[in-house]
Structure 1
Amino acid sequence: MKSILIKNAQLVNEGKVTTADVLVKEGRIVQIGQNIAAEVDESIDATGLHLLPGVIDDQVHFREPGLTHKANIETEARAAVAGGTTSFMEMPNTVPNAVTQELLEDKYNIAAETSLANYSFYMGATNDNLAEVLLTNPNTVCGIKIFMGSSTGNMLVDNEETLEQIFAKAKLPIAVHCEDEQTIRDNMAIYEEKYGDDIPVKCHPEIRNEAACFKSSFMAVKLAEKHNTRLHILHISTEEELKLFRNDIPLEQKRITAEVCTHHLWFDKKDYDELGNQIKCNPAIKEHRHKEALLQGLLEDKLDVIATDHAPHTWEEKQNKYRKAPSGIPQVQHSLQMMLEFVREGKLTLEKVVEKMSHAPAVLFNVRERGYIREGYWADLVLVDLNKPYTVTKDNTYYKCNWSPFEGYTFSSSITHTLVSGHLAFVNGAFDESKRGERLLFDR
C-alpha cells in the first residue's frame, strides 16, 4: 500500500481542533504531529482543509442481494466514500432476507469483492429463527436487527415470546426499528376511508404517528431494562421518545442508546409539499417541533449517533401513488455535508459532528481500531473544504437510482479526499478502486 503524508491539516478529533500532520503506512496511522518529515509515496497539502475521522454509518440499505435494480453494494459504497463515509453497517431486509448464518455470510462475500468502503452486516431476526440468531459471532458481526414495526420487506417480529427470548439471550447489540404495527393499521384504515386510493403523502406522519413510535420504543426499552440487553433504537423521530433515554452517564456505560437520522434533523412536514414521495420514509418525517427537539436531544446527548438509514428506490417506484410508493431516501453521499451545513448555521460544532458520526458509533458497537484519529488505528480519514460550495446534480450523484432529494441544492462544503483503511479511495471527484474496504471487527 502507498505511504501517505497529510500536511498542515486542521485535525478535528476527540473534542479538539488542532493543526497537525498525519503519516499513514500499511493502512494505519503511524504518526500524528508537527512538521513530520518522511519519505512517502504521496504527500497531500491540507492547508485550509479540515481532517476528520471517517464517518461510520450504522444504518444503511444497499439492496444486495435481490433488489439490485434499486442499488447494490458496489454503487452505494462508492457514493458513501464520495461523501466521507468510510464504514457502513447494512440491514438484513434484502432478498432473500439475511436470516441465516449462510445468507449473512453471502453478503460479506459480495462486499469483500465489491465494496470500496469498510463494511458490516446485521443478522436479521424473525418470529422463528432464534437458533440462527444466537449463532451470530459478536466479534465479526455488528448486531442483530429487529423490525418491531414493518417497513420495506417482510421481517416484522411481533411474537412477544420471540422478542423476550432474543432480548434475554442476545450476545451482541440489538438494533430495532420501532413503530407499533396495530396503531399504523388503525390509522391507515381511517385515511383509506377518507381518501380511498388517493391518500396525500402529507398524511404519512399522521398514519405513522407519534403514538406508534412511542408505544413501540417504550416496549423495546422495557424489554431491554428487564433483561439488561444492549439495545440501540434506530431513527428516533419524535420529541416524545426523547424521555426514554438517559444523558446522565457516559456513553460507554449506556445499555440503551438511540440514533437520529439526517433526514429527521433536516426535513419537516412542510417539505412534503415540494418533495412528496421523495421524502416518504419510515418512521415518517413529522411536524417541525420534532425536528427542533431532536436537534436539542442530540446536543444534550440523549441521542447518541447520527446515521442516514440510506434506502434507495428507483425514481419510477417513487412516482406511484402514496400507498404503492416505497418508503426510503437515498442520502449516504451527502450526510456529512448536511451536518456541516448545521455547523455553518451555528447549530452544531465540528467537534460534535465528529463525535456523533465517527466516535460514538465506534464506541456503541465496539468497533476495533476505527472512529478516531489515533496512532495505531486504521487510517479512515476525510478531508473537507468548508469553504468550497458543492451543488448536487445527477452527474455527481453516485447512487444507482440516480436521484437525490438534494438535486439542485448547493452545500457550502466539499469532500476533497477520503482514505479507507489507508487507501486513498476518493480525490476531488475521482475514485481509485484498486483496493476494497475491510470487514469491520468488534471488541466484545
Structure 2
Amino acid sequence: MSRILIRNANVVNEGSTFCADILVAHGRIERIAGIIDQQCAAVEIDARGQWLLPGMIDDQVHFREPGAPHKGSIHSESRAAVAGGITSFMDMPNTHPATLSLDALADKKRRAARSSVANFAFHFGVSKDNLDVVAALDPREVAGVKVFMGASTGDMLVDDPNVLERLFGCVPTILLAHCEHTPSILANEARLRELHGEAIGPQFHPVIRDAEACYRSSSLAVELARRFDTRLHVLHLTSARELALFEPGPLAGKRITAEVCAHHLLFDERDYASLGNLIKCNPAIKARTDRDALRQALLCDRLDVIGTDHAPHTLEEKSRPYAQAPSGLPLVQHALPALLELVADGILPLTRLVQKTSHAVAGLFGIQDRGYVREGYWADLVLVEALAHARPVLLDPLLSHCQWTPFQNHVFRHRISTTLVSGQLAWHQGRLVEGCQGLPLSFRK
C-alpha cells in the first residue's frame, strides 16, 4: 500500500469542517495536520476546494452473487460503488443459494476476498427452518441478521408469529427487518384488479404496497423488539406514519433504529409517470408528503442511517408489464452525488449527511476503525468536487452490470473525484484504478 498525501482538503468529520493535510500509510490515516511536510509519499493529491469525507458505508445492497450473474456480481457492483463514494458495503442474504447456512456465508466471503474493490461484510438470512443456526451465530462473523417480515421470494419469508417470537428472543446480534404486511398487499392488489383488470401499471405500486401495509409490519417488529429487548434495525422506511414508531435523538443507547434509502429521499409518486417500472421497488416509493417527512426525520435523528438497497435487474426484465417486472433499482454508482443534491438544495447539512452515511453506520454495526477521519483509522476516504457546471448523468460510463440508472436524465452538482479504500486508490479523476482490493469489515460485538 503506497503512502498517499492529500493536501489542502476541506475535511468534513464529526460535525465540523476544517482545512488539513492527510497522510495515508499502510492503509491507515497516519497523520492529520494543517500542513504536513512529507517528501516520500508515492502519490500526492491537491484537494484544494474539495471536501474530504469518510467513505459511505452502505448497510444494504444486493450484489446478486451467487446466483444471478446476468444482473450483477460482487466485482461489477463494488466497482460501481467506489465510483459513487461507497467504500464499504453489507450484502443481503437473498441470493441463490440464500445465505442461510455457515457454508453459504463462507462462500460469499471467499468470493468477495477475490473480487471486491470495496470493503465488505454480509448479513445472515432467516427462514423458518434455520433458527438454531441463527441462535448459535458468532456476532463477529456477520454484519447482522436479516428477516423478511413481508413479501419475499423463495423460503425467506417469515410471518409465522411463533417463529418470529423465537427469532426476536434468540438472535445474538442486530436484527434487520424488511417490514411489509403480505395479506394487506394481496388484498390491495385484488381490489385494484377488480376495478382495472390487468391494466394495472407502476403508478399503482404505492397503492398496492401502501403505508398501512408497511405500518402493520413495522409496528409488529417494534412491539416484538420491545418485548424481547432485541436490537432491531428496520430497513428502508418509506412512510410518514411509520416514523412515530422510532425515537428521535442520538444513536447512542438506542435499541431500535431505522434506515432510509436514497431513492425514498429523492423520488416520489409523481416520478412513476416518467420512470415507471424503473423505480418499482419494495417497499414502494410513496407520496411527496412521505418523502418530505423522511427528510425531516433525518434532521431530528428519528432516522439513523442512509443506505441504498441497491438491487440491479436487467433492462429487459424491467421492461416487462408491471406485474411481471421485478422490484429493485441500481443506485450505488450515483449514491453520494445524488444525496449531495439534498445538501446543495439546503435540505440537509453536509455534516448531517456524513453522520448518516458514515459515522452512524459504523456505530450502529460496531465496525472497527472505519467511518471517521481519525488518525489510526483505515483510510476509507472520498474527495468531492463542486462542479462549476452541473454534469448530466448520461455522460458517465455506467459500471453496474445492468447498464442503466434511474438517474439517467438527472444532472448533479457534485462529483466524486477520488475514492480511497483501505488506503488504496480505487477511483481517481473519473476512472477506476485497477488493483484495489477491499478488506473484510471487523465488528466489535
- The interval holding the TM-score normalised by the smaller chain is over 0.9
Structure 2 counterpart of 1:11: 11
What letter is aligned with 2:54? P
Structure 2 counterpart of 1:245: 246
Structure 1 counterpart of 2:90: 89
Counterpart-to-counterpart distance in 2, 1:153 and 1:30: 47
C-alpha offsets along residues 206-253 of structure 1, whole Å, 9 cap, x if unaligned? 1001110001000000100011110000000000001000114x3120
Structure 1 counterpart of 2:2: 2
With over 3 angstroms needed to count, the CA separation of the structure-2 counterparts of 1:382 and 1:259, relative to structure 1, is same
Structure 2 counterpart of 1:116: 117
Partners of 2:51 and 2:384 within 8 A in 1: yes
Structure 1, 47-56 or 333-342: larger mean CA deviation? 333-342
Partners of 1:198 and 1:321 within 8 A in 2: no
What letter is aligned with 1:172? T
List aligned pairs for 1:269-348, cutoff 5 A.
269-348=269-348
List aligned pairs for 1:49-68, cutoff 5 A.
49-68=50-69
SS at 1:387 equivalent: strand
With over 3 angstroms needed to count, the CA separation of the structure-2 counterparts of 1:395 and 1:45, relative to structure 1, is closer
The Cα shift of 1:165 comes to: 1.3
Partners of 1:140 and 1:440 within 8 A in 2: no
The Cα shift of 1:395 comes to: 5.1
What letter is aligned with 1:247? P
Partners of 1:9 and 1:51 within 8 A in 2: yes
C-alpha offsets along residues 79-136 of structure 1, whole Å, 9 cap, x if unaligned? 0000100000110111111101101111111110010000011100011110121232
- 1:26 equivalenced with 2:64 (yes/no): no
The Cα shift of 1:201 comes to: 1.0
- 1:128 equivalenced with 2:129 (yes/no): yes
Structure 1, 392-401 or 300-309: larger mean CA deviation? 392-401
Counterpart-to-counterpart distance in 2, 1:408 and 1:264: 18
Structure 2 counterpart of 1:45: 46
List aligned pairs for 1:375-394, cutoff 5 A.
375-387=375-387, 389-393=390-394
SS at 1:386 equivalent: strand
The TM-score with structure 2 as length reference comes to 0.98
Counterpart-to-counterpart distance in 1, 2:194 and 2:98: 33
Partners of 2:421 and 2:436 within 8 A in 1: no
Counterpart-to-counterpart distance in 1, 2:260 and 2:204: 22
Structure 2 counterpart of 1:435: 436
Partners of 2:71 and 2:313 within 8 A in 1: yes
Structure 1 counterpart of 2:160: 159
Structure 1 counterpart of 2:213: 212
C-alpha offsets along residues 410-435 of structure 1, whole Å, 9 cap, x if unaligned? 10101000000000111012222313
With over 3 angstroms needed to count, the CA separation of the structure-2 counterparts of 1:84 and 1:152, relative to structure 1, is farther
Counterpart-to-counterpart distance in 2, 1:362 and 1:127: 30
C-alpha offsets along residues 385-420 of structure 1, whole Å, 9 cap, x if unaligned? 022533212751111000001113210101000000
Counterpart-to-counterpart distance in 2, 1:315 and 1:322: 13
Counterpart-to-counterpart distance in 1, 2:73 and 2:342: 30
SS at 2:357 equivalent: helix
Structure 2 counterpart of 1:355: 355
C-alpha offsets along residues 5-34 of structure 1, whole Å, 9 cap, x if unaligned? 100000000000000011100000011011
SS at 1:426 equivalent: strand
The TM-score with structure 1 as length reference comes to 0.98
The Cα shift of 1:152 comes to: 5.1
The Cα shift of 1:443 comes to: 0.4
The Cα shift of 1:154 comes to: 4.2
Structure 1, 189-198 or 208-217: larger mean CA deviation? 189-198
The Cα shift of 1:153 comes to: 4.8
Structure 2 counterpart of 1:139: 140
Counterpart-to-counterpart distance in 2, 1:48 and 1:309: 31
Counterpart-to-counterpart distance in 2, 1:404 and 1:169: 40
What letter is aligned with 2:45? I
Partners of 1:4 and 1:40 within 8 A in 2: yes
Partners of 1:99 and 1:129 within 8 A in 2: yes
SS at 2:332 equivalent: coil
With over 3 angstroms needed to count, the CA separation of the structure-2 counterparts of 1:350 and 1:296, relative to structure 1, is same
Structure 1, 359-368 or 126-135: larger mean CA deviation? 126-135
SS at 1:369 equivalent: coil
C-alpha offsets along residues 146-178 of structure 1, whole Å, 9 cap, x if unaligned? 000123554111121111111111111100000
Partners of 1:230 and 1:256 within 8 A in 2: yes
The Cα shift of 1:313 comes to: 0.4
Counterpart-to-counterpart distance in 1, 2:331 and 2:442: 25
Counterpart-to-counterpart distance in 1, 2:107 and 2:186: 34
- 1:372 equivalenced with 2:372 (yes/no): yes
What letter is aligned with 1:359? H
SS at 1:362 equivalent: helix
SS at 1:343 equivalent: helix
Counterpart-to-counterpart distance in 2, 1:131 and 1:270: 45
In structure 2, the gaps of 5 or more residues are: none
CA RMSD of aligned residues (A): 1.1
What letter is aligned with 1:101? L
